[in-house]
Amino acid sequence: MSNLPKRMKNTEKVQASQQAIRSDITSNPAGSSSAATEAYLRGLKLRSDLGLLDASEIKSLVPVESVEEQLTRRILKKLNRLGDHSAEFQLVARTYGSSDRLSLAQNMAKRFASAAALRNVTQLALGSDMASVNTFGQDLMDANMNSSATRADPMGSGGAGAV
């Protein structure tokens, strides 16, 4: 989090009559209190509506999210819809080795981002379109999985009738 922009106090000189409105535009004096933070944000919105604060100034206060952060938020929303004992959540938790939803979402987002980067590099190397990159080698993987499932099936050839 060290690459986040730091908030700085507005150094612009204003008249005493507008000092109360314009003071502390870019710093949050509320601290961590949610009610005070909400009041601070309402004040920013009001200043923006009155034309005292430019929208670009507000955007400069908010750091841009990375792709992984955006993916984490999307995945976390979906994970929060699943119950703790649902089969889908249990499968995901066992696969990634954690039942903490935030760490699961972060881990999944990290893997999705690296997989997308790998897919893009593979596309450049193979010189093919995205549809074929996503299915490249899938026939081999499917055949391998089918043969593995057949070998492991106890009811398959020789499993049930061989007594």
Residue-wise pLDDT for 40-74, tens only, equals: 888 878 887 887 777 777 677 777 778 888 999 99
**pLDDT per residue as tens digits for the range 115-154:** 888 877 877 777 666 556 666 677 777 777 777 666 655 5
Distance CA 43, CA 24 (A): 10
CA angle 74, 79, 85 (to 5 degrees): 175
Residues 1-51: pLDDT tens digits? 556 666 666 566 656 555 555 544 455 555 556 777 788 888 878 887 887
pTM of the model: 0.46
* CA atoms within a 13 Å half-sphere pointing along the CA-CB vector of 130: 4
More confident residue, 76 or 133: 76
CB 118 within 8 A of CB 136: no
Rounded CA separation 14/17 (Å):
8
Task: Break the chain into its structural domains and give their ranges.
Answer: 16-61, 67-152
pLDDT score recorded for residue 162: 47
107-116 mean pLDDT:
89
